[in-house]
Amino acid sequence: MIIAIILHIIEILIWIYLGLSALYILVFGVAGLFGYSPVGIQHPRPLKIAVLIPGYKEDRVIVDVARDALNQNYPKQSYEVVVIADSFKPETVKELQTLPIRVVEVKFEKSTKSKSLNAAMQEIGDDFDIALILDADNLMLPDFLNKIAGVFDGTVKAVQGHRIAKNMNTSMAVLDAISEEINNRIFRKGHRVLGLSSALIGSGMAFEYKWFKSLMQEVKAIGGFDKELELRMLKSRYRIEYHPDAYVLDEKVQQKEVFASQRKRWLSAQFIYFGRYIGVGLKELFLRANVDLFDKVIQMIQLPRLILIGLLTLIGFITGIITWIDPLWAHENMMIEFYNWLTIWSMAAVALLISVPAKFYNKNTLKAIMSLPGSFIVMLLSLFKLRGANRQFIHTQHGVKSSDKINK
């Protein structure tokens, strides 16, 4: 009897968790259907921007990325491209030094993006208004800096640009591109429509320079430094803006194993920061009405959308099998579970369907969907390997053929 009660309580808690997760993405997915654009301003002088590109062993792509970053429709004297070269080959550094950019060479016993950024900002000084962070595979559209700079009105401390896929040359890359756009719709645009802060992604994001430099000195994260930035900012009640029309291209992973490894690292960081900030988030919510911070803490315990919809589909399949085997027993014991499943699955499915841009409704996406079961299994198994995933820097190798790249 006691075991049955405990199992029933666990069952209820699981349904509540899955139900709230589905409702959460549905609410912000619907909000993301509405138009949103930040208020832009004209500055009396162009703001000076440091385009910071940290890279670890990114010899294959960094020269092209650095060269591309120089092609902005922004006054040349008002921005500087800074490549932070961690463990690059000597010939790569030499080639970078032929470009009109600054190269900061670094080497650490344990490399992290936060260490690289801190070292670079110490070297380049304080003569900048904005720090823009790119990954070593990112390509900005020519008007990116203009659009980002226009959002900084003296009150904004951070702006997240709209990151989109640079390549969709495999089914996995297509799924990764769709995942990125779903997150853009739910966690960035949808949040801003409802007055909450955008989520940061880790690249294509800009900050007020001196404030960012000071804040980064306190950040010691090995992985997920953008999550620590978010939480620290929102605790101090700084808003994170989002510009849906400022596009930066990002290389999408091409293999299931790389996708799972990347998500495992992200999930590990999420759960770590949830544990650190849940108490702070509750305190801030009830004592200071800081909904923004509490919402961010709740995001940290959200399952990836693939795992959420996969679990719900799996539960529905099992329910259907049991109903088929023993209809009478199922009628007496599982009808509530079936309706719970149907409601929650429907909310999650609608949230995802309305968050996918129309351009992805094509035969390539249909082909990619066929690989979803395998991706779900790989992702689900990765949940059992989270321990220690955020204690060391794990490098994702970049580099796709130019013919595989796409524009907006």
Domain ranges of the chain: 49-258
**For 253-283, b where at least 16 C-beta lie within 10 A, e where not — what string?**
bbebeebbbebbbbbbbbbbbbeebeeebee
Element (H, E) at 140: strand 139-140
- pLDDT (tens digit per residue) in 194-238: 999 999 999 999 999 999 999 998 887 766 788 889 999 999 999
Q: What angle do CA 108, 114, 116 make, to 5 degrees?
A: 45
SS (H, E, C) 59-91: CCCHHHHHHHHCCCCCCHHHEEEEEEEECCCHH
Q: Give me the percent of the chain exceeding a pLDDT of 70.
A: 86
Mean pLDDT over all residues of the chain? 87
Q: What is the mean pLDDT of residues 180-189?
A: 96
Element (H, E) at 390: none
- pLDDT (tens digit per residue) in 41-63: 888 899 999 999 999 999 999 99
Q: Could you tell me which residues are beta bridge partners of residue 300?
A: none
Q: How far apart are CA 196 and CA 289, in angstroms?
A: 13
Is residue 246 scored above 60 in pLDDT?
Answer: yes
* 139-140/102-106 β-pairing: unpaired
How confident is the model at residue 10, as a pLDDT?
83
Q: How many residues are given for the chain?
A: 408
Is residue 321 scored above 80 in pLDDT?
Answer: no
- What would the CATH number be for the domain defined by 49-258? 3.90.550.10
Q: How confident is the model at residue 401 (pLDDT cuts 50, 70, 90)?
A: very low
- pLDDT (tens digit per residue) in 255-271: 666 666 666 777 777 88
Lowest mean pLDDT among 145-154, 231-240, 354-363, 397-406: 397-406
Looking at this protein, which amino acid is placed at residue 365?
T
Q: Which of 123-132, 214-223, 255-264, 382-391 has the highest mean pLDDT?
A: 123-132
How confident is the model at residue 404, as a pLDDT?
45
Q: How far apart are CA 17 and CA 14, in angstroms?
A: 5
User: Residue 249: which of 50, 396, 405, 36 has the closest Cα?
Assistant: 405
Is residue 390 scored above 60 in pLDDT?
Answer: no
